[in-house]
């Protein structure tokens, strides 16, 4: 199952746990150095100032403290924030006072309120901008990133964009493992230092170069299933095709040929037709996972090199295989469950019985998705928008389906008293792509062709210009 193989790096062992070297002395202590005792007395604590005691500020503070940083939180109201901050081992001060404590400052205050902070104290400091754009207004903004706007506000500071791809929730749970954290800024030394902090927090920093790249970094959490679009579109079109075909052949066409026949076959619409269409879609998507690899192999054989780019359409197709594979799994799962759940579970074969099964099965599948996306290794690979879409929108939809499932099963009790043609078969259509994929694959298995392909993939280059250059 090549296309489905995960490219996610393994989580470092003990991430977030091996910094428990400190011993808490007392929650009421005011100076940060009196809060902790280092087991390693030679290790000097680095100080980070976090401006803002909101969700993100406190989550990052907790993670920094775990990583043995001395953290000073800058707040408008230190009295109110003190108990919470000292509970996680940080000190709270007024903004001005906090800014005197360290050379690295995290701006965890909503971007629109940054101007109300004493920015004059930021001169010469490394200022980490963690802000994200508001999805509702981001399209109307110009081409300047928020980090660049902050840099314009404080020209004497070294602004670095970082950590905006993380969520407060995940930071608090400490389950982000080795997630990549893009870092960009104009000052190379500042960038390096922020990368080091990211590494200390058990993230993988990704040096994105100058601050002009911040717009790209700010777009990451806002991306909304961008890489899935091709797969979704393909899956929907394929499913719609098979569904309409089955509907026509099984219901409309047979009725036209036998006018006396009743329309009871339409009762099978919700389970049988969808179930078969899901199965057909799964097989087609599976073929679509393997076909581009075969086409790429022919192109490499023809060109005699792997060092020239694939055409755009093939490149996009190759990259979408993981998504196509997962959508294939989804369709297959739907097909299997609907087949298994069919009439034995519904207990009745009319439209209500079928809707009951369909709603239950879809609810089950969506619930499985919700469960899967709550696993750290899965949620760690999703943007915040994707995660909240799945957990929120799909969560409600699952609830609706589960409720409908119940309504269909108890229909009689709820609504008393008496609410009691000339085309190839769909199987032939479905076979086309798998057969084509196999037919193209077989010649590639011939030993001499296979060994040529392997040589090319190991670096052999038949292209004259390249050979001459070498
Ligand atoms: P938040 O919960 O609304 O908290 C922001 C904090 O900023 C407040 O608790 C307050 O702290 C301070 N603040 C609020 N209004 C202020 C004002 N007018 N002047 C000065 N300080 C003010 O926001 P957040 O979720 O922590 O987000 C903070 C930043 O992190 C944002 O730029 C956001 O885009 C970014 N971010 C958040 C997340 C996330 O998951 N939440 C993820 C990535 C990036 P005091 O009362 O202590 O002054």
Q: Once rounded to an integer, what is the mean pLDDT over residues 165-173?
A: 87
Q: Of the given ranges (282-296, 305-319, 383-397), which has the lowest mean pLDDT?
A: 383-397
Residues 330-339: tens digit of each pLDDT: 999 998 888 7
Q: Residue 466: which residues within 8 A CB-CB, separation 6 or more?
A: 305, 307
Residues whose CB is less than 8 angstroms from the CB of residue 459 and which lie 6 or more positions away in sequence, other chains included: 306
Q: What is the pLDDT of residue 253?
A: 77
Please name which of 241, 240, 263 lies closest in space to residue 253, comparing C-alpha atoms. Answer: 263
**132 CA closest ligand 1 atom index:** 34
Using the structure block, give the residue that is written with the tokens 């196509």. Answer: 324
Q: Which two tokens stand for residue 349?
A: 């074969």
The secondary structure of residue 43, as a DSSP letter, is S
CA of 122 to the centre of ligand 1 (A): 18
pLDDT digits (tens, 9 = 90+) for 113-134: 999 999 999 999 999 999 999 8
Question: If you average pLDDT over residues 185-189, what whole number do you get?
Answer: 97
Q: Which of 314-328, 343-357, 441-455 has the lowest mean pLDDT?
A: 343-357
- C-alpha 436 to ligand 1 mean position (Å): 56
Pick the CATH number of 21-219 from 3.40.640.10, 3.40.50.1820, 3.40.309.10, 3.40.50.720: 3.40.50.720
- How confident is the model at residue 48, as a pLDDT? 97
Tokens 């200022």 identify what position?
A: 127
Residue 55 Cα to ligand 1 middle (Å):
7
Band of pLDDT at residue 4, cut at 50, 70 and 90: very low
Angle at the Cα of 80 (from 49 to 31), degrees rounded to 5?
Answer: 45
Any bridge partners for residue 92, and if so which? 73
Residue 36 has pLDDT above 50, yes or no: no
Phi, psi of 164 (to 5 degrees): -70, -15
- Rounded Cα distance between 11 and 202, Å, is 9
Between the alpha carbon of residue 373 and those of residues 194, 316, 364, the distances in Å are 29, 25, 14
pLDDT higher for 116 or 427? Answer: 116
Task: Give the best-scoring range by mean pLDDT among 2-11, 164-173, 305-314.
Answer: 305-314
What is the pLDDT averaged over residues 139-163? 90
Out of 110, 149, 170, give the residue to mutate to test ligand 1, the one with the largest number of ligand atoms within 8 Å of its CB.
110
Pocket test for ligand 1, best of 53, 56, 121 (most atoms within 8 A of CB): 56
Which sequence spans correspond to the domains of the chain? 21-219, 229-469
What mean pLDDT comes out for the span 35-42?
Answer: 40
Mutational test site, ligand 1, from 49, 51, 57, 118, max ligand atoms within 8 Å of CB: 57
List all residues whose CB is within 6 A of at least one atom of ligand 1.
Answer: 52-57, 75-77, 81, 108-111, 113, 116-117, 130-132, 164, 166-168
pLDDT, one tens digit per residue, over 211-262 is: 999 999 999 998 888 889 999 999 999 999 999 988 887 777 777 777 676 6
Give the range among 180-184, 299-303, 353-357, 434-438 with minimum mean pLDDT: 353-357
Record the pTM. Answer: 0.75
Q: Tell me the C-alpha distance between 196 and 46, whole Å.
A: 11
Task: Tell me how far the alpha carbon of residue 448 lies from the centroid of ligand 1, in angstroms.
Answer: 63
Alpha helices in 93-219 (DSSP H): 95-99, 146-153, 168-173, 188-200, 214-219
Q: What are the angstrom distances between the C-alpha of 396 and each of 334, 359, 373?
A: 19, 14, 15
- What does the pLDDT read at residue 391? 83
**Chain segment 54-72, per-residue pLDDT in tens:** 999 999 999 999 999 999 9
pLDDT at 349: 67
Distance 171 CA to ligand 1 centre (A): 15
- Of ligand 1's listed atoms, the one at least distance from the Cα of 109 is 7
Contact partners, residue 153, CB within 8 Å, separation at least 6: 114, 115, 119
């Amino acid at each position: 199952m090549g296309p489905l193989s995960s490219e996610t790096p393994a989580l470092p062992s003990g991430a977030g746990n091996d910094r428990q070297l400190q011993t808490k002395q007392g929650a009421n202590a005011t100076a940060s150095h009196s809060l902790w005792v280092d087991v390693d007395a030679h290790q000097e604590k680095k100080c980070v100032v976090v401006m803002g005691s909101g969700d993100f500020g406190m989550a990052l503070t907790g993670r920094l403290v775990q990583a043995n940083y001395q953290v000073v939180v800058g707040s408008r109201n230190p009295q109110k924030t003190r108990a919470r901050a000292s509970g996680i081992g940080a000190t709270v001060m007024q903004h001005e006072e906090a800014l005197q404590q360290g050379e690295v400052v995290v701006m965890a205050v909503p971007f629109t309120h940054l101007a109300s902070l004493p920015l004059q104290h930021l001169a010469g400091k490394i200022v980490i901008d963690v802000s994200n754009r508001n999805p509702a207004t981001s399209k109307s903004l110009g081409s300047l990133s928020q980090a660049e706007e902050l840099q314009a506000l404080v020209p004497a500071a070294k602004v670095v964009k970082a950590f905006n791809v993380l969520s407060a929730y995940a930071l608090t749970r400490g389950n982000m493992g080795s997630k990549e954290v893009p870092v960009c800024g104009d000052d190379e030394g500042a960038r390096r230092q922020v990368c080091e902090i990211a590494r200390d927090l058990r993230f993988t920093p990704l040096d994105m170069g100058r601050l002009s790249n911040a717009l790209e970094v700010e777009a990451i959490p806002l991306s909304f299933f961008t890489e899935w679009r091709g797969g979704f579109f393909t899956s929907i079109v394929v499913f719609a095709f098979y569904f309409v075909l089955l509907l026509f052949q099984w219901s409309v066409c047979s009725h036209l040929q036998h006018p006396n026949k009743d329309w009871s076959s339409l009762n099978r619409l919700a389970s049988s037709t969808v179930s078969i269409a899901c199965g057909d879609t799964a097989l087609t998507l599976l073929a679509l996972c393997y076909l581009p690899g075969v086409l790429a192999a022919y192109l490499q054989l023809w060109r005699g090199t792997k060092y020239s780019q694939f055409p755009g359409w093939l490149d996009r197709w190759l990259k979408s295989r993981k998504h196509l594979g997962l959508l294939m799994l989804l369709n297959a799962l739907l097909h299997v469950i609907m087949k298994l759940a069919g009439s034995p579970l519904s207990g009745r074969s009319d439209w209500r019985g079928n809707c009951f099964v369909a709603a239950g099965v879809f609810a089950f599948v969506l619930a499985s998705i919700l469960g899967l996306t709550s696993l750290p290794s899965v949620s760690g690979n999703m943007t915040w928008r994707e995660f909240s879409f799945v957990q929120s929108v799909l969560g409600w939809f699952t609830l609706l389906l589960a409720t409908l499932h119940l309504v269909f099963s108890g229909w009689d009790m709820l609504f008393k008293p008496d609410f009691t043609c000339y085309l190839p078969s769909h199987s032939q259509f479905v076979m086309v792509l798998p057969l084509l994929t196999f037919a193209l694959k077989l010649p590639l298995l011939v030993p001499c062709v296979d060994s040529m392909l392997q040589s090319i993939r190991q670096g052999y280059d038949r292209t004259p210009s390249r050979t001459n250059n070498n």
